[in-house]
């Protein structure tokens, strides 16, 4: 009986592996990946590697074993991921896994923005499967913003979220919560709303970036259609650009500001402030 982490070489997945190895022996952890070569570093730590490609049901059929606890990390392939997630759920059910945990989105069924649709469909598919489950409804990752530091320092912080607040946390925070749920007890048939302790606005983010760099960083709030043009002009595919503009509209409506303290409670410490994530990104 193992803890299986899908997409284990991804930005969140490798952090979950790190967190698990701080809690349980390596021989209890399995990294399910598309490419074994990319997982060489994980394998070197004593973790079993299994091939699991969301687009290859045959690989999924051998990725899980009876009694496993599985973390399904949501696919990044917008437009295709419901089918991918269904393939994982079907394989997990066929294998007889003990529980499946899923990284969804803050708000769950109440989230009405476009990005949430696939997550809601996946949660419903898990419920329909009859599998024991835990829903990890992740809020926004702070790194979504700090990975754009070079652009922000040159052109300012641009968005269409108005004065809306973002209850973000670091990927490490969300990974720690996943590891706590995967290794702990009492999490069956639970849904956790996960967000940072302190929400912030894009104007506050720009001010903090300016404070830490000593540079003038403007916050430019623009209409959604203008932001759409900026994103597509920068090379963002139009379907994704529409989703990002819609997320900003959701932020303005308060849907990503936060829904309680589940995250800090699960990880046993305060969540990482946005100022700390900015500082870390500036050092890299």
Show Cβ contacts of residue 9 under 8 Å, excluding neighbours closer than 6 positions.
Answer: 31, 33, 34, 35, 38, 39, 42
pLDDT digits (tens, 9 = 90+) for 237-274: 999 899 999 999 999 999 999 999 999 999 999 999 99
Show the tokens assigned to 153.
Answer: 């320092």
Average pLDDT over residues 75-83: 89
Name the band, by pLDDT with cuts 50, 70 and 90, for residue 79.
confident
The whole-model pTM stands at: 0.96
94-120 in b/e form (b: 16+ CB < 10 A) is ebebebbbbbbbbbbeebebbebebbb
**Residue 175, phi then psi, degrees to nearest 5:** -65, -40
Q: Residue 237: which residues within 8 A CB-CB, separation 6 or more? A: none
Q: Which two tokens stand for residue 188?
A: 């069956």
Check whether 78 has a pLDDT greater than 90: no
The reported pLDDT for the residue numbered 77 is 87
Q: What is the pLDDT of residue 27?
A: 97
pLDDT in tens, 168-186: 999 999 999 999 999 999 9
Residue 151 sits at φ, ψ, to 5 deg, of -70, -40
Mean pLDDT of 47-73: 96
Q: Which CATH superfamily is domain 3-138+170-194+259-271 in?
A: NAD(P)-binding Rossmann-like Domain (3.40.50.720)
Would the pLDDT of 37 be above 90? Answer: yes
Could you give the percent of the chain with pLDDT greater than 90?
Answer: 96
Average confidence (pLDDT) over 148-161 = 96
Indicate the pLDDT class of residue 141, thresholds 50, 70 and 90.
Answer: very high
| 167 to 71, 98, 170, 194, 277: CA distances (angstroms) | 23, 32, 10, 9, 13
Average pLDDT over residues 138-165: 96
In SS3 terms, 49-95 reads as EEECCCCCHHHHCCCCCCCCEEEECCCCCCCCHHHHHHHHHHHHHHH
Question: The tokens of 279 are what?
Answer: 């500082």
pLDDT of amino acid 182: 98
Q: How many CB atoms lie within 10 A of CB 154?
A: 9
High-pLDDT (> 70) share of the chain, % = 100
What DSSP character marks residue 280? Answer: H
Give pLDDT, residue 1.
82
pLDDT of residue 228: 97
The mean pLDDT value of the chain amounts to: 96
Parse the chain into domains and list their residue ranges. Answer: 3-138+170-194+259-271
């Amino acid at each position: 009986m193992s803890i299986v982490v899908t997409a284990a070489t991804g930005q969140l997945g490798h952090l979950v592996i790190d967190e698990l190895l701080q809690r349980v022996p390596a021989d209890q952890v399995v990294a399910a990946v598309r490419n074994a070569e990319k997982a060489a570093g994980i394998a070197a730590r004593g973790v079993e590697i299994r091939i699991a490609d969301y687009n290859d049901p045959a690989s999924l059929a051998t990725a899980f074993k009876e009694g496993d606890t599985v973390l399904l990390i949501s696919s990044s392939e917008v437009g295709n991921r419901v089918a991918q997630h269904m393939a994982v759920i079907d394989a997990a059910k066929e294998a007889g896994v003990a529980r499946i945990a899923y990284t969804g989105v803050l708000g769950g069924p109440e989230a009405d923005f476009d990005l949430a649709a696939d997550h809601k469909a996946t949660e419903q598919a898990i419920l329909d499967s009859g599998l024991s489950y835990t829903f990890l409804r992740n809020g926004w990752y702070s790194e979504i913003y700090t990975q754009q530091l070079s652009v922000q320092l040159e052109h300012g912080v641009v968005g269409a979220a108005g004065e809306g607040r973002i209850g973000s946390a670091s990927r490490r925070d969300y990974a720690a919560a996943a590891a706590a749920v995967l290794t702990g007890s009492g999490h069956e048939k639970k849904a956790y709303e996960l967000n940072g302790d302190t929400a912030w606005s894009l104007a506050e983010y720009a001010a903090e970036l300016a404070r830490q760099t000593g540079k003038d960083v403007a916050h430019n709030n623009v209409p959604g259609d203008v932001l759409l043009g900026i994103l597509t002009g920068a090379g963002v595919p139009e379907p994704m650009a529409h989703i990002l503009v819609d997320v900003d509209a959701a932020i303005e409506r308060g849907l990503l500001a936060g829904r309680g303290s589940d995250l800090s409670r699960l990880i046993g410490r305060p969540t990482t402030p946005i100022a700390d994530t900015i500082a870390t990104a500036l050092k890299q």
